[in-house]
Structure 1
Amino acid sequence: MKTTPISPADLQASVISVPPLCRDAQLRPHAAENARLIKHIESGGVTTLLYGGNANFYNIALSEFEAVLDQLEAAAGPDTLIVPAFGPYFGTAMDQAAILAKKKFPTAMLLPTVAVSSPKGVQAAVMKLVEKYGKPIVLYIKDQGYVTLDVVKALVAAGAISWIKYAVVRADPAQDDLLAGLVKTVDPKLIVSGIGEQPAIVHWQKFGIHSFTSGCVCVAPRRSQEMLNALRAGDTAKADAIRERFNSLETLRNTYGPIPVLHHAVSLAGIAETGPALPLIADLGDDVLDEVLPAAQGLLAWNKA
């Protein structure tokens, strides 16, 4: 596992995959299946894995947190960067930060919540968490109003932020005043487009954000990495053609929920057995799975073609 500090070059070299976490029938983290999924992602040239929302780290038990970290570290290749998540609630995050401080992960992402937070409260929490962890963390901006530009500027200036995952969904990703302000407030090289392939090209061209996260990369890692490489080469037409091929599964994720659809898609494609969904997420019904199956298998077949 890569343990050196993360640079903008690291963020731009690989699609940042956001995998599900495989569990067995008793909901225990499944080391062998998680290793299978990691190897599949690595086989496509993808070397960054972020375990956050798709892995349902929101609902992970504190009692299993360290064991999960050890599983992921053991499964990763020597050049693979693993970024775990912690939080979203402050007390839990502080306990998790103490565990992370004993590990070799170069950063971790604070899961966001707007239900019981304020921008200044987020700022104070990040500073305390960074002090406990001993390393800068990933700031995940998922909702309007979670933080202000002044808060982000102060946290970056304090050296508390490794990078920023920006994932505020817009009807038109080109119309985004918050993102426009963010790229003027901090170096765009610190910002990652965090909503998959769909808005990545717009974010790249209009806002100068040259890295992106993806869930569907877990099914078709080679193709998602090809999209990133096409963007880096200035071949927008090729990148857009690749993006279009991801739409079948992404549309299902938008319709039925991004986390459960991806969780099932990885299993239905035969990549790894992800097991039952960890509550508070629920498994999808057979009628939905019948829609996910051909999309997942088709995406994997295209990845192998």
Structure 2
Amino acid sequence: MEYKEFSKKLETINGISLTPFDSNTKEIDWTGVEDNIQYLINKGLKVIVPCGNTSEFYSLSIEEAKEEIKRVVEIVNGRALVVAGIGYSLPMAIELGTYAQEVGADAVMIHQPIHPYITDSGAVSYYKKIINSLDIPSVVYWKDEKLSDDVLKEIAPLEKFVAVKYSINDLPRFAKIVREIPSEHHITWICGTAEKWAPFYFHAGAKGFTSGLVNLYPEKSFEMLHALRNGDEKTTWKVWEETLPFENLRAKYHNGNNVVVIKEAMNLLGLNAGVTREPVDPLDADDKEQVMHLLEKWGLLQSQQA
């Protein structure tokens, strides 16, 4: 595989797919998974990430995560890249990554370890062992502000390390690490905090961004992507203003609303999002009303007063 060429394919919207759960049993609704992946494909998504945080990866058993990766690969059937989320302990991450590789995923996204204790050198070892254990490329999900970006410098020379999903909203810090890692390593920098932060990250060196909004309003996400690529400031900030209230609602309760806001919006639009699993509860009445009003404002949902 030409890893440096692969990295350029991630310079786009990285759509984090939803995992719909049955409202009664909380089991995965596999028909809903297929419906939602087909929707993303039909809307033009070229990078789909199952088992991301917006997929509620943290609530899935290892067997469920494997099954989701396998089914998404089968549904996509080569029409887009599948970047499978993997993580937890080192052996578990390698097990998930190896499985993803075996069933045909194009790459993996390595979640940052959730252990209560972590050191920079330990993180370097963690990432190196996972990346070196696989043949397919790896994306590193960079989220813990307590870790030094020197970790990324240490692993940057690894050929199979192709991208960083950077999710620490410290723009000077991001701009600095982008400029400190030589371009010869062919790392694609991805804004990991969606449309709200994408314009700022792009100005600092990002070439792609993650999105949960694509699960219900991909047209708006693509409008931002094209504006950013074309240097169209007017459209960029128009889209930013239009999507900001939605992203702010997702960020409520220290990002506790991240998934459930998307699911509420999808369900209102007749898409198959299902419910969330614990530890995330349904939205309260006020937040539900805000979601409905946003969809009405966007013209996606007929006003209840009409």
Range into which the TM-score falls when normalised by the shorter chain: 0.7 to 0.9
CA 60–15 in structure 1, closer or farther in 2 if over 3 Å, else same: same
Distance apart, 1:61 and its partner CA: 0.2
Structure 1 residue aligned with 2:275: 276
Q: CA RMSD in A?
A: 2.4
Distance apart, 1:157 and its partner CA: 0.4
Structure 2 residue aligned with 1:46: 45
Aligned counterparts, 1:215-294, within 5 A: 215-256=212-253, 257-272=257-272, 274-294=273-293
Q: Distance between the aligned counterparts of 1:83 and 1:266, measured in 2?
A: 23
Distance apart, 1:8 and its partner CA: 3.8
CA 259–146 in structure 1, closer or farther in 2 if over 3 Å, else same: farther
- TM-score (norm. length: structure 1): 0.86
Distance apart, 1:265 and its partner CA: 2.1
CA 96–252 in structure 1, closer or farther in 2 if over 3 Å, else same: same
- TM-score (norm. length: structure 2): 0.86
CA 183–49 in structure 1, closer or farther in 2 if over 3 Å, else same: farther
Does the 8 Å contact 1:189/1:210 carry over to 2?
no
Report the number of matched residues. 292
Distance apart, 1:121 and its partner CA: 1.1
Structure 2 residue aligned with 1:177: 173
Structure 2 residue aligned with 1:204: 202
Task: Give the letter aligned to residue 249 of structure 1.
Answer: F
Structure 2 residue aligned with 1:106: 106
Q: Distance between the aligned counterparts of 1:145 and 1:295, measured in 2?
A: 35
**Residues 28-83 of structure 1, C-alpha deviations (whole Å, 9 max, x = no match):** 22222122222322333222112311001122101222211122112225321121
Distance apart, 1:186 and its partner CA: 4.2
Partner-residue secondary structure (3-state), 2:28: coil
Partner-residue secondary structure (3-state), 1:17: strand
**Unaligned runs of at least 5 residues, structure 1:** none
Q: Distance between the aligned counterparts of 2:109 and 2:20, measured in 1?
A: 19
Partner-residue secondary structure (3-state), 1:275: coil
Q: Distance between the aligned counterparts of 2:202 and 2:187, measured in 1?
A: 11
Moved over 6 A (4+): none
Task: Give the letter aligned to residue 38 of structure 2.
Answer: K
Aligned counterparts, 1:11-90, within 5 A: 11-12=10-11, 14-25=12-23, 26-51=25-50, 52-76=52-76, 78-90=78-90
Task: Give the letter aligned to residue 230 of structure 1.
Answer: A
Structure 2 residue aligned with 1:10: 9
Structure 2 residue aligned with 1:123: 124
**Residues 96-131 of structure 1, C-alpha deviations (whole Å, 9 max, x = no match):** 233223121121111113633222111111222223
Distance apart, 1:158 and its partner CA: 2.1
Q: Distance between the aligned counterparts of 1:111 and 1:300, measured in 2?
A: 35
Task: Give the letter aligned to residue 87 of structure 1.
Answer: G
Q: Distance between the aligned counterparts of 2:179 and 2:20, measured in 1?
A: 35
Does the 8 Å contact 2:47/2:80 carry over to 1?
yes
% of aligned pairs identical? 19
